[in-house]
Amino acid sequence: MRLRWALFTVLCIAGVFNAMDRPIIAILKPDMMADFGWSDSDFGDLAAVTQFSAAFAFLFTGWLVDRLSVNRAMQVGASAWSLAAIAHGWAITTSHVIAARMGLGVTEAVQTPLTIKTVATLFPPDKRSFAFGFATLLAGAGTIAMPFVIPALALSVGWRGALVAGGIGGFVSLIAWMWLARGIAQLHTRRDASKGEVAGGEAYGAILKSRQTWGIVVAKALSDMTWWFINFWLADYYRKEFGLSTLELAVPLAIAFAGSGLGALGAGWISTRLLEAGWSPNRVRKSVMLACALIVAPLPLVLAMDSFWPVAVMIGVVMAGHQGFSLSLFSTITDVVPQAKVGRVTAFGAFMGNMGGVAISLVAGRVLDAGYGFVPLFVFASASYLVALAWFQWLIPVIRRPQDGADLFA
Q: What is the tens place of the pLDDT at every residue in 392-404? A: 999 999 988 765 4
Alpha carbon separation from 89 to 46, 86, 151, 288, 370 (Å, rounded): 17, 6, 17, 42, 33
191 pLDDT higher than 60: no
User: Which domains are seen in the chain, by residue range?
Assistant: 2-400 (1.20.1250.20)
Burial 27-40 (b: 16+ CB within 10 A, else e): bbbeebeebbebeb
Q: What is the pTM of this model?
A: 0.69
pLDDT at 370: 87
Angstrom distances, CA of residue 269 to CA of 112, 131, 275, 308, 333: 21, 9, 10, 31, 18
Write out pLDDT tens, residues 242-293.
888 877 888 888 888 888 878 888 888 899 899 989 899 999 999 999 999 9
Q: How far is CA 339 from the centre of its chain?
A: 21
Separation of alpha carbons 287 and 392, rounded Å: 12
Q: Which residues are within 8 A (CB) of 271 and not within 5 positions of it... i.e. 6 or more apart? A: 129, 130, 133, 284, 285, 288, 327, 328, 331
Residue-level pLDDT at 206: 74
| Largest interatomic CA distance in the chain | 60
CA distance 115 to 136: 11
b/e string for 367-379 if b means 16 or more Cβ within 10 A?
A: bbeeeeebeebbe
pLDDT of 408: 53
Q: What would you report as the CA-atom Rg of the chain, rounded to the nearest whole angstrom?
A: 20
- The end-to-end CA distance of the chain, in Å, is 32
List CB contacts of 150: < 8 A, sequence separation 6 or more: 23, 24, 27, 28, 162
Instruction: Choose between 352 and 109: higher pLDDT.
Output: 352
